[in-house]
Amino acid sequence: MSNASNRANTELQIVAPLRDRLFPNHEWVLLLVLLFECLVFGVVGDNFLTTSNAFEITRLSVEVGLLALALTPVIITGGIDLSVGSMMGLAAVVLGALWRDAHLPIVLAAGVALLLGLLGGGLNAFLITRLDLPPLIVTLGTFSLFRGVAEGLTRGIENYSGFSPTFLFLGQGYVGGLIPTQLLVLVVAVAAFGWWLHRTAYGRSLYAIGHSKEGARYAGIAVSRKLFLVYLLSGFAASVSAVIYVAHLGQAKSDAGTGFELMAITAVVLGGASIFGGRGTVLGTVLGLFAIVVLQNGLRLSRQPAELAGILTGVLLLVTIVLNRFSGLPSGGRQTETEEIDVKNSQVAVLSAVILLAALLVAGSNWVLVRSLRQDSNSGPNSSRSLTPAHRIQVAMMPKAKGDPYFVSCRQGAEEAAKELGVDLLWDGPTDLDPAKQNEVVEAWITKGVDVIAVSVENQAGISTVLRKAREKGIKVITWDADAEKDARDFLINQATPQGIGYTLTDETARIMGNKGEFAIITASLSAANQNEWIKNIRARLAEKYPDLKLVAVQPSEGDRDRAFSETQTVLKVYPNVKVIMAIAAPAVPGAAEAVKQSGRTDVKVTGLSLPNMNKPYVKSGVVESVVLWNTTDLGYLTVYAANALSKGELKQGDHEINAGRLGKIAVVGDEVRLGAPFIFNKENIDRFNF
């Protein structure tokens, strides 16, 4: 009896090793991954291992980090919440509308936005716990519902900006000039969730629910009540993220938080949480979050395509999910400890292999880059100079959207000028119209320490703060194609004056319509500063010269050809008397032309701003009457020449002209470098151009 008692006491005193207690789900693997990323990017990335970049990484982690923390208990219980990104969009536009349109104090408007998050989370919780509906189906439905309501409130085009500096300090300010303000919110959230999940009976009961809801009920756990709180907190965290997001960007729009839910789920699963429930830690979520953000930041600082981060993160996520699935499958009725160790070792091996592949890609591409720079310096027009790649002027140039054919043609001219001048050109930006991504890229360029930043601005208010920060760091800033606020840049490279563009478009429309009738505009985005200026001048020209012309609608295409197609179809149905569609974005003209062509409306013509090559078939068929534009290749070419001159001190306030290579002398008017007047492409001359 005594021996049996001693054996029992001995067994009860067995304590898990310290490593297993600190890293119950092998989170140490992600810690090694993080260290490995830092090692690689510290070697190949510019200024990666700096204090300012470390804090910048944490600042970029806050919004997604809050969502990931809230999703950790959701996933531990075996659930999912796909609606958090959409709730961010809804909370953001409600905040903006209440502040700007209802004139509520910003604190009260933010409070209502937070309450809205609780209501949205409560809706999910009610449907899941009271009606016993699957979380995936419920949150997939509210994913569409919340985003749809946000777009309905704003028609998908309203943009709220102009918030007070006090509010913007929450997302753009720095405590002590170094620590991002919003980081303090994330730190508090990490501590709170860590204590709640790992140090309270409530938190530990969530693991029991994840292992078996029925078993948890038999153990006396109030499963429905605890799940209700979990989804309630998820909605609340989404609204907190929305408030910080608005303060960070300085704008509130219905697309806020798009894709954030997937990134947050990725961080949680990478951190060791099982999508089947019962496993996960706050530490793992934080490590998973930083593994993703460090990867994105490091790739950008080492001049790699931003898309590579998405590819590698996706590979990591799929591998982790598959291995988690196999680690939970029984072998012969029961998984032995040895089998579990084998699975964990294989997971470590695959994870390490993917990270190693990323490192090889980064190192290899940097080697190719350095080699190409050396070849350029030896064989280019400046080969006689002693300038080395390390001393080349770095011009960082950003389009609104990298995939837009308009900006692809601009890049051709930019690269031509960079080669002539021996300039190191960095070309990067979002793949579609995304002000948040533009800000991220500029922040990375500031950390990298480039000489000149040149931006085609998507949202004027949203990006001006970060451009001012660049100027404070001694970086020259120019805008091209679309302007920021004037105190946020040194010069604007203007393809033509807004008045010249607006007047030319209006005169061409009037010519087509015989000076009377109805027409509609298909723009890119109603938050785009340059297009808003064109529209303002179009309205002024109508009032001044064409009283019988009526503008009946202005619809956004968001820079997407298919969206322009559907918006044009809507216009033709709602406004049957429209005779001209004026599309003022490059993809919008062929999109509108295809809609008119398919409608069979031969009485309707299309004109607007676009590239000749995109519209030749429609121009020749007579659907597109004319295309108004400038030489986009020359615009990119001039931008790099101006950036180079600005960096060398050869372009200053008060100058009246600039020498721009093959373009000759280009006029400088105040703080604008002007390419020239717009050109009209039509059936008679369009074949002479190839861009």
pLDDT tens-digit series, residues 404-426 = 888 888 999 999 999 999 999 99
Mean pLDDT within 60-66: 93
**533 pLDDT exceeds 50?**
yes
Alpha carbon separation from 159 to 99, 151, 398, 462, 575 (Å, rounded): 12, 11, 22, 11, 25
pLDDT tens for residues 120-149?
A: 999 999 999 999 999 999 999 999 999 999
- Please report how the helices 498-513 and 529-545 are oriented relative to each other, as an axis angle in degrees rounded to 10: 50
pLDDT score at 17: 64
Q: Are 421 and 382 in contact (CB under 8 A)?
A: yes
Mean pLDDT within 65-93: 96
pLDDT score at 318: 66
pLDDT score at 629: 86
The dihedral built from the CA positions of residue 265, 271, 277 and 282, taken in this order, carries a sign that is negative
pLDDT tens for residues 331-358?
A: 333 444 433 434 344 444 444 454 445 5
pLDDT score at 65: 96
pLDDT tens for residues 607-656?
A: 999 988 889 999 999 999 999 888 888 999 999 999 999 999 999 999 99
Q: Tally Cβ neighbours within 10 Å of residue 559.
A: 24
pLDDT score at 244: 95
Report which listed range, 108-112, 177-181, 212-216, 244-248, is most confident: 108-112
Alpha carbon separation from 9 to 12, 169, 184, 537, 562 (Å, rounded): 5, 58, 45, 86, 71
pLDDT score at 339: 39
Q: Tally Cβ neighbours within 10 Å of residue 566.
A: 14
Q: Are 153 and 255 in contact (CB under 8 A)?
A: no
pLDDT tens for residues 360-383?
A: 454 454 444 444 434 444 444 444
Q: What is the pTM of this model?
A: 0.72
Whole-number Å distance between alpha carbons of 31 and 237 = 26
Beta bridge partners of 627: 608, 681
Residue ranges of E strands in 445-548: 452-455, 476-480, 491-494, 517-523
Mean pLDDT within 10-32: 62
Mean pLDDT within 171-180: 85
Type of residue at 537: N
Using pLDDT thresholds of 50, 70 and 90, give the confidence band for residue 102.
very high
Mean pLDDT within 24-40: 78
pLDDT score at 324: 52
* Domains of the chain, each with CATH number or no CATH: 19-49+304-328+337-375 (no CATH), 62-296 (no CATH), 389-495+634-674 (3.40.50.2300), 498-629 (3.40.50.2300)
Lowest mean pLDDT among 47-56, 299-308, 311-320, 440-449: 311-320
Q: Mean pLDDT over all residues of the chain?
A: 84
pLDDT tens for residues 506-530?
A: 999 999 999 999 999 999 877 777 8
pLDDT score at 574: 93
**327 pLDDT exceeds 60?**
no
Alpha carbon separation from 73 to 47, 68, 108, 233, 529 (Å, rounded): 36, 9, 29, 10, 42
- Please report how the helices 51-76 and 181-199 are oriented relative to each other, as an axis angle in degrees rounded to 10: 40
pLDDT tens for residues 467-511?
A: 998 999 899 999 998 889 899 999 999 988 888 889 999 999 999
Mean pLDDT within 4-16: 51
**253 pLDDT exceeds 90?**
no
Using pLDDT thresholds of 50, 70 and 90, give the confidence band for residue 177.
confident
**60 pLDDT exceeds 60?**
yes
